[in-house]
């Protein structure tokens, strides 16, 4: 018998766990959570993790297990004046999306947490190191939540289908679990959607056509934003073209600003490929210009071409590493005076001081090369070398040219 679900009570709320035994996921935290809930005093906690992984649910379960009077508030909807009224008589505040409070608003909690007047169980999808004040963080235990696994999602989907009076083949549950990106709330929405379909639409291929298009929830300011970008660049660096294309798709489908992606590709072209293939940088810059010109969604086409090119190009970070070596020298020992023969003698006084004296103009010598010192003499004496050639890609040809000049031309 199918149970009718009120429009005012989504399936996710209908089957929300009431005890720790019913909770699905976060097995790495449950032992600590149980200890906190059964202890003499419930501590203030911050639950950090992706959407739909059970942060608010677990906060409510803890408050009930500790037998505390609690109130749940969503930060985007709560002003401090209204919040003060809601806190009257409450022992625990469950605050969703605390990162939506300004830093000044977050300061409101400092004295009441310090005095023990209220226990705060807050949730956030954004990295608390950036979104929560240092003063407030020092008063909270931070627990990091994970996305639900495929097995956990299947268990949750079966529970939801059972409440709705539905019995589906295993492959249906597996399909739904794979479509929701580890988000339990999104999964249960899909379960409700499938429960309303005719029986003849429950085949896998028919379901793929009938289900809503998967929307990857963006996290452009949080960890996901940086993790995906890092994975893209590291896949390019590792010459894994399939992984690079995959992470590009993840970024674009999550709503990432294509200009951000293009900036990362330009940097990768210089840092990771560099002289391995000097055409990589012009291509990346052209990609940025093409994306600006054609816009999205078609902008994925030049970006995909560029990602494939960069992933397959020979890698050479010698120029990048060489700059870092030079930077280290400057920061550790300061700037040394430019040798006199390299300075422009723009005035008669400069000439009198010896500016430009003894400078050898390379184009006046065979092969447009002449042996002379360019580094400050102190660094020459120390044998300083910042650029360490790798002889990979186009750099091999460039290095061979310079080596031939040094071998074939006598010092004047």
Pair (140, 157) in one structural domain: no
Look at residues 106, 120, 184, 115 and name the one whose alpha carbon lies nearest to residue 147.
184
288: pLDDT strictly greater than 70: yes
129, 144, 159 - which closes a domain? 144
Q: Work out the number of other CB atoms within 10 angstroms of the CB of residue 193.
A: 14
Pair (163, 232) in one structural domain: no
Look at residues 224, 153, 217 and name the one whose alpha carbon lies nearest to residue 190.
153
Q: Is residue 119 part of a domain?
A: yes
Q: What pLDDT digit, counting tens, does each position of 244-284 carry?
A: 999 999 888 877 788 889 999 999 999 999 988 999 999 99
295: pLDDT strictly greater than 50: yes
- pLDDT of the residue at 383: 86
Residue 235: band (very low, low, confident or very high) from pLDDT cuts 50, 70, 90: very high
- pLDDT of the residue at 1: 32
- pLDDT of the residue at 407: 62
Query: What average pLDDT score do residues 110-137 get?
Result: 86
Give percent above pLDDT 90 in the chain.
16
Pair (137, 164) in one structural domain: no
Pair (271, 191) in one structural domain: no
- pLDDT of the residue at 334: 86
The separation between CA 287 and the C-alpha centre of its own chain, rounded to angstroms, equals 22
Q: Is residue 94 part of a domain?
A: yes
Whole-number average pLDDT of the chain: 82
Length of the chain, please? 412
Pair (280, 361) in one structural domain: no
- pLDDT of the residue at 405: 65
Q: Is residue 283 part of a domain?
A: yes
Q: What pLDDT digit, counting tens, does each position of 217-230 carry?
A: 444 444 566 788 88
- pLDDT of the residue at 215: 46
Pair (44, 94) in one structural domain: yes
- SS3 state of residue 250: helix
The continuous run of DSSP H or E covering 319 comes out as helix 318-333
Strand pairing category for 45-48 and 92-96: unpaired
Q: What pLDDT digit, counting tens, does each position of 58-96 carry?
A: 888 888 888 888 888 887 776 777 777 778 878 888 888
116: pLDDT strictly greater than 50: yes
Tokens of 140: 């909270």
Name the β-bridge partners of 94: 72, 121
What residue numbers bound the domain in which 58 lies? 26-144
User: Into how many domains does the chain fold?
Assistant: 4
What is the spatial distance between Cα 262 and Cα 229, in angstroms, rounded to a whole number? 11
Residue 4: band (very low, low, confident or very high) from pLDDT cuts 50, 70, 90: very low
Q: Is residue 2 part of a domain?
A: no
Look at residues 392, 379, 238 and name the one whose alpha carbon lies nearest to residue 319.
392
- pLDDT of the residue at 302: 94
Pair (172, 235) in one structural domain: no
Pair (101, 130) in one structural domain: yes
- SS3 state of residue 37: helix
Contacts 24+ apart (CB under 8 A), 270-273: 270/319, 270/320, 271/317, 271/320, 272/233, 272/236, 272/237, 272/310, 272/315, 272/317, 272/320, 273/310, 273/313, 273/314, 273/315, 273/316, 273/393
pTM over 0.85: no
What is the spatial distance between Cα 112 and Cα 119, in angstroms, rounded to a whole number? 9
- pLDDT of the residue at 280: 94
Q: Give the residue with greater pLDDT, 132 vs 223.
A: 132
Q: What pLDDT digit, counting tens, does each position of 151-208 carry?
A: 889 988 888 888 888 888 888 888 888 877 788 888 888 888 888 877 767 777 777 7
Pair (185, 231) in one structural domain: no
- pLDDT of the residue at 208: 72
Under a CB-based contact definition with an 8 Å cutoff, are residues 53 and 188 in contact? no
Name the β-bridge partners of 45: 121, 141
The separation between CA 135 and the C-alpha centre of its own chain, rounded to angstroms, equals 25
Pair (46, 156) in one structural domain: no
The continuous run of DSSP H or E covering 202 comes out as none
Query: What average pLDDT score do residues 42-48 get?
Result: 89
């Amino acid at each position: 018998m199918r149970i009718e679900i009120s429009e005012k009570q989504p399936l996710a709320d209908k089957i929300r766990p009431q005890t720790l035994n019913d909770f699905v996921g976060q097995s790495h935290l449950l032992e600590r959570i149980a200890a906190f809930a059964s202890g003499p005093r419930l501590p203030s906690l911050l639950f950090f993790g992706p959407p739909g992984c059970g942060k608010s649910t677990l906060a409510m379960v803890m408050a009930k297990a500790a037998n505390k009077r609690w109130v749940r508030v969503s930060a985007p909807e709560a002003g401090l004046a209204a919040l003060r009224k809601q806190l009257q008589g409450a022992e625990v505040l469950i605050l969703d999306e605390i990162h939506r409070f300004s830093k000044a608003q977050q300061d409101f909690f400092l004295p009441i947490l310090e005095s023990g007047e209220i226990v705060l169980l807050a949730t956030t999808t954004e990295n608390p190191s950036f979104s929560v004040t240092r003063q407030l963080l020092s008063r909270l235990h931070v627990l990091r939540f994970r996305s639900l696994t495929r097995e956990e999602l299947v268990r949750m989907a079966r529970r939801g289908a059972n409440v709705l009076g539905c019995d589906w083949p295993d492959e249906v549950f597996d399909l739904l679990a794979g479509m929701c990106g580890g988000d339990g709330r999104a999964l249960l929405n899909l379960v409700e959607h499938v429960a309303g379909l005719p029986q003849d639409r429950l085949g896998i291929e028919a379901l793929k056509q009938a289900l809503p298009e998967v929307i990857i929830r963006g996290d452009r300011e949080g960890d996901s934003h940086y993790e995906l970008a890092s994975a893209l660049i590291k896949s390019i660096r590792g010459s894994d073209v399939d992984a690079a294309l995959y992470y590009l798709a993840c970024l674009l489908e999550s709503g990432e600003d294509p200009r951000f992606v293009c900036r990362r590709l330009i940097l990768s072209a210089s840092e990771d490929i560099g002289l391995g293939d000097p055409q990589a940088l012009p291509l990346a810059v052209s990609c940025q210009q093409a994306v600006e010109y054609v816009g999205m969604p078609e902008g994925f086409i030049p970006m995909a071409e560029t990602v494939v090119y960069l992933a397959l190009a020979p890698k050479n970070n010698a120029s990048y590493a060489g700059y870092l070596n030079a930077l280290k020298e400057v920061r550790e020992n300061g700037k040394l005076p430019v040798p006199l023969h390299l300075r422009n003698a723009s005035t008669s006084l400069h000439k009198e001081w010896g500016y430009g004296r003894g400078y050898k103009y390379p184009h006046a010598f065979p092969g447009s090369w002449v042996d002379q010192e360019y580094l400050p003499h102190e660094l020459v004496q120390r044998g300083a070398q910042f650029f360490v050639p790798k002889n990979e890609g186009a750099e091999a040809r460039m290095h061979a040219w310079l080596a031939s000049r040094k071998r074939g031309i006598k010092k004047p």
